[in-house]
Amino acid sequence: MSEPVRFLLSDMDGTLLLPDHSLSQRTIDAVRSLREAGVLFSLATGRPPKAMLQTIEALGVDLPTAAFNGGTIVHPDGSFLVAHYLPATAALTTLALFADQPDVEVWVFSGGDWLVKDPNGPMVPREQHGLGYPPVVVESFEPYLLRIDKIVAASNNTELLIELEAQLLPKVDDQAQVSRSQPVYLDVTAMKANKGEALATLAAFLGVPLQQTAAMGDGGNDPAMFHVAGLSIAMGQAEEAVKRQADVVTGTNAEDGAAQAIERYILKR
């Protein structure tokens, strides 16, 4: 690709963030250098909007950002550029499939809240650390069916999540996106809530042609934007199936691979 990159859209967890969810100084400096070079920069993540605020502030992001894999694209003032909710029928199908699984914790994100039935699930502390706020305990997800941003099946049984992904896909075909954002999380969002749509929407909003965009990520929800971007960058620790869909592979997130990629593939161009 010979076109200069004018806009980089990056994943957060497993990409910009270290394994402990913090930002390294090298990454902060690399993003600052991008902006000084006139390259636009934003974030696309499976996280909810309020779980992005700390990173947005630390990196000085002043553009709309994509939460819930692109389900909501949020302006810096908190207003929405885009909001795509999961259709209630797809939500019911998903919840019914996940409900019978003993190894799976089911989380629903709605209206800014992280909803759980069991606050003592083994995966809850990890998510709470990553998000920076606790869940809201509910008896039923039914009252929220019309405004669900994302449903997550969380489990350390990664093989089971692969099976559930295969079972759910045909049931919600054309209604929902199903992808493992990390090996332990299976995300279900609206059909248009994917990072590819988010990249296209943001590029159009910013007036940047797609061939002058770059996308960087590590999870099963990132190839959607790899296929849209002019340049796609996979992290070193990504699964092979993710790496194969990227133009280039950088170091792992523990090695500041995102900063390496910015320095090598974007700033050097």
Q: What is the pTM of this model?
A: 0.90
> What was the pLDDT predicted at 47?
92
> What is the DSSP pairing of strand 113-116 with strand 136-137?
parallel
> What was the pLDDT predicted at 130?
87
Here the tokens at position 175 are: 């209604």
Domain range summary for the chain, segments of one domain joined by +:
7-83+193-267, 88-190
- Give every residue of the chain whose pLDDT is below 50, as ranges: 1
The torsion angles phi and psi of 198, rounded to 5 degrees, stand at -60, -45
Here the tokens at position 94 are: 């998903």
**Fold (CATH) for 88-190:** 3.30.1240
- Any long-range contacts for 18-22 (C-beta under 8 Å, 24+ apart)? 18/253, 18/254, 19/253, 19/254, 21/129, 21/130
CB 232 within 8 A of CB 215: yes
CATH architecture of 7-83+193-267: 3-Layer(aba) Sandwich (3.40)
> What was the pLDDT predicted at 17?
97
> What was the pLDDT predicted at 3?
86
Query: How far is it, in rounded angstroms, from Cα 115 to Cα 261?
Result: 36
> What was the pLDDT predicted at 14?
95
Task: Give helix then strand counts, H and E, for the chain.
Answer: 9, 14
> What was the pLDDT predicted at 2?
65
